[in-house]
Structure 1
Amino acid sequence: MTDSAQRPLLFLDVDGPLIPFGAAAQQYPTYRTGEPRKADSNPLLARINPAHGPRLVALPCDLVWATAWMDDANECIAPRIRLPRLPVVMWPEPSEADERDEREGMHWKTRALVDWAAGRSFAWVDDEVTDIDRAWVSVHHRGRALLHRVDPGRGLGDADYVALDEWLRGHGTRSSHGAG
């Protein structure tokens, strides 16, 4: 087992990967956690499969919220899927470089995630990752990285977990910026 400092990070988005959206509402199963919470006022939270928590914790990485939910992910999402409190990427105020990047098709999270990782290997799970993000990370990140795109209409599924687990377990041996 490697030291925690050597484990790759897994940056996790919420909308799309954990809360699927985009198809007709009746196509999504809903899940009850049995624990009433003030967050239950958001009907989309019922779409989060509680099985995600144990599957995410089983991955050989350090989980980090990388979502616009920010610390609300710890308050509303983590308890539903039995995750511990996770570190949260705090998004900086947009800069001119960020605005230029977005005009050129790069995701607004990309720079901040590379900065947060500080050279450490990471996987990024999001429904908006593009080849532009992959190309930028391959030039600007000195560590290994997997930018894994999840179909927002279905959310994280078995194939996603297999791809993540394989990359995380062999993070030094596979293509670092592969499509997902």
Structure 2
Amino acid sequence: MPPPGGLVAEDLDRLPDLPARTELIDGRLVLAGPQSSFRSTVVDLLVEGLRRAVPSEFRVRRGMSVVLDARQRPQPDVSVVRAAAVRDDGGETFYRAQDLLLVAEVVPVESGERKRALYAAAGIPHFWRVEDDCGEPVVRVHERDPATRAYALTGIHQDRLKLTVPFDLDVDLSRIHRL
């Protein structure tokens, strides 16, 4: 039973026996369902491509939670984190929003809007939303506008994710069927 007012981000590290993919959204626990093969493969593609491309001052992580504020601790599928925030012993269980350059979520078409708004409000500069279009990944690339504190869509990528911002990147999305 959650306390009055809900849980806070630090509670996730103290509650025993939580499933691995547990998030805190608006002070409430959100338990993710089983992961699909599509999602797993797309995450692999993105992680592989990002690790080849990120500048040395960043690291790529999958499935690590992010503390956005006291009541928000989502778990994006992929994150690009400042290397200075990564401990040498690998013991961290979360990163802070100010240490992230990019988050990516592989989501059904009809979901994910709440998390996108939370990431933007927390100041994370880049957000990718990946959707399943009949077994093909579609990546919607967003960049945060500092004036509006909201994400603006900067591109929709099918077959190939080729970008120059926030760094040069080229990922062949059609490889999903060869992994």
TM-score, normalising length: structure 1: 0.34
TM-score, normalising length: structure 2: 0.34
User: More strand per residue: 1 or 2?
Assistant: 2
User: More helix per residue: 1 or 2?
Assistant: 1
Greater relative contact order (Cα < 8 A, sep 6+):
1
